[in-house]
Amino acid sequence: MSRRRVGVALVLSALTLLFAARVAGQALVAFLGVPWLPPMERWYSSLLPYPILLPIQLAILAGQATLDGAVWAGRASFVRPRPQTARALRWLSYAYAASMVIRYTLTRSHLIPVAFHLVLATYLFTLARLWSPRPSRR
């Protein structure tokens, strides 16, 4: 396994674990009211009702886990360069991250959701790095 692919796989897996911790933390607060975590209003910006948000978060985690496993396994269809997809994902990650920075700058609220949207934007950026053609060595 190439050092580049190991590095990308480690970063993707770490980002997936961070997002999983966010989903688990919010669920612990929502369903069990654990007192040692921030209250629900700090986790949740109310843009989607939580009964709709949780399955979406779980689907995102399932997709991340699938991609992470494919990268670790070196499945050719997942690790070969995809320049157009990489370019699109890179710009999407920039727009996603910028929108979260703007959101926080304007609202000064909901730091936990904003931070974890930045985790997801970084995940997209890292996938773009994986699918970008390797730079030529001189």
Helices (H), the chain: 3-27, 40-43, 50-73, 76-79, 83-107, 111-131
Residue 32 within any structural domain of the chain: yes
CB 87 within 8 A of CB 129: no
DSSP conformation class of 35: T
Residue 84 within any structural domain of the chain: yes
pLDDT reported for residue 133:
85
Residue 81 within any structural domain of the chain: yes
Tens of pLDDT along the chain (138 residues) come to 688 888 999 999 999 999 999 999 999 999 999 999 999 988 887 778 999 999 999 999 999 999 999 999 988 777 888 999 999 999 999 999 999 999 999 998 889 999 999 999 999 999 999 999 876 454
Residue 136 within any structural domain of the chain: no
d(CA 53, CA 23) in angstroms, rounded, equals 10
pLDDT reported for residue 62:
98
Residue 76's domain comprises 3-131
3-class DSSP assignment, residue 112: helix
User: Between vectors from CA 54 to CA 51 and to CA 55, what angle results, nearest 5°?
Assistant: 95
Q: What's the token pair of residue 106? A: 């304007």
d(CA 128, CA 84) in angstroms, rounded, equals 9
pLDDT reported for residue 48:
87
In sequence order, what DSSP letters do the residues of 88-101 get, joined into one string? HHHHHHHHHHHHHH
Count up the domains in the chain and report the number: 1
- CA-nearest of 121, 137, 131, 29 to 70 is 131
pLDDT reported for residue 76:
75
Residue 97 within any structural domain of the chain: yes
Residue 7 within any structural domain of the chain: yes
What end-to-end distance do the CA atoms of the chain give, in Å? 23
Residue 138 within any structural domain of the chain: no
